[in-house]
């Protein structure tokens, strides 16, 4: 079996499109409200609870929030100015941004902010006024964010790896042979790809006429590195599980090993870099070998054997 670079490109493109399509519903709109509930969730834009309107929970990741009506749950703002003039039965938590509580506003829970809030006379806060650093342990928040990223990246690489092996099954044999027979070359070329491509992208950005190409290259690096990471994980799995064992089982084994190591601080980043470099090098060497084999003309058929009479 020989790997064809067109198969790899087609598989990577399909994976990228699928991920893009899955991401569009979550990010195309600034506001997303589930009709089955009264939660108001905004990714980026404005969060507004009008007067005489009631919602359960109000959450915005980036942008200003204006609470003029009633929120039966809590108001959570990650980054943006917050103005409360209505009634919030739960907490108001603002991680970054100025906070103003207008006269006549009511907050049934705590007011948790980063900076000192402006509370006008006549505003009612039943709970306590706290700082974010006091309410939340920064170490816990950091670990939680890393774990969420780990889960998301694990699922993404799992889907991408299985999809590549499904669309381009020849990748299994090519990665296995190349990682065993051309280990040194794979590492050297992987280092070149990993570190030189960002430099090339920066050079394109410096050249005014090539700025779009530089931007496109920078955007493509995340997908390219992830494809290399998936290939490196598969190579590790094939070192432990030899053919004819299922290629999917080999990938799952290698993927599981590198993802578990990814949970370890510092070691996880080092493992990701090494695996990505090795995977990129393996793919490059395998594609060059495939092109070289395609250029070799087929051997002529053996001459017919004649017998004398």
State the pLDDT at residue 275: 94
Reported as a single tens digit per residue, the pLDDT across 117-169 is 999 999 999 998 988 766 665 555 556 677 788 888 999 999 999 999 999 88
Partners of 40 in the β-ladder: 58
Chain mean pLDDT for the chain: 80
Reported as a single tens digit per residue, the pLDDT across 40-63 is 888 778 999 999 899 988 988 888
Token pair of 273, please?
């870099």
| Predicted TM-score of the model (pTM) | 0.53
Strands 58-62 and 75-77: parallel
Q: CA-to-CA distance for 75 and 55, rounded, in angstroms?
A: 10
Contact 232, 278 (CB under 8 A): yes
Q: 35: pLDDT confidence band, cut at 50, 70 and 90? A: very low
């Amino acid at each position: 079996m020989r790997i064809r670079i067109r198969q790899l490109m087609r598989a990577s493109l399909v994976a990228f499109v699928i991920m893009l399509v899955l991401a569009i519903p979550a990010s195309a709109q600034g506001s997303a409200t589930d009709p089955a509930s009264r939660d108001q969730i905004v990714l980026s834009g404005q969060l507004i609870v009008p007067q005489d309107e009631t919602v359960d929970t109000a959450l915005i990741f980036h942008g200003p929030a204006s609470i003029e009506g009633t929120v039966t749950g809590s108001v959570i703002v990650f980054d943006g100015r917050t103005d409360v003039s209505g009634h919030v039965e739960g907490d108001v938590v603002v991680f970054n941004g100025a906070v103003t509580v207008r006269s006549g506003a009511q907050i049934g829970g705590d007011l948790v902010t980063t900076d000192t809030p402006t509370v006008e006379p006549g505003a009612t806060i039943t709970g306590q006024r706290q700082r974010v650093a006091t309410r939340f342990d920064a170490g816990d928040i950091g670990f939680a964010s890393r774990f969420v990223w780990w889960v998301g990246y694990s699922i993404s690489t799992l889907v991408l790896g299985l999809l590549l092996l499904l669309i381009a099954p020849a990748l299994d044999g090519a990665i296995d042979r190349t990682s065993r027979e051309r280990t040194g070359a794979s590492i050297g070329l992987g280092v070149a790809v990993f570190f030189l491509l960002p430099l090339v992208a920066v050079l394109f950005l410096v050249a005014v006429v090539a700025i779009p190409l530089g931007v496109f290259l920078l955007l493509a690096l995340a997908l390219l590195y992830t494809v290399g990471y998936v290939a490196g994980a598969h190579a590790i799995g094939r070192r432990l599980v030899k053919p004819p064992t299922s290629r999917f089982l080999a990938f799952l084994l290698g993927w599981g090993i590198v993802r578990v190591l990814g949970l370890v601080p510092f070691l996880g980043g080092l493992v990701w870099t090494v695996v990505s470099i090795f995977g990129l090098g393996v793919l490059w060497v395998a594609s060059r070998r495939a092109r070289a084999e395609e250029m070799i003309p087929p051997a002529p058929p053996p001459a017919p054997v004649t017998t004398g009479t």
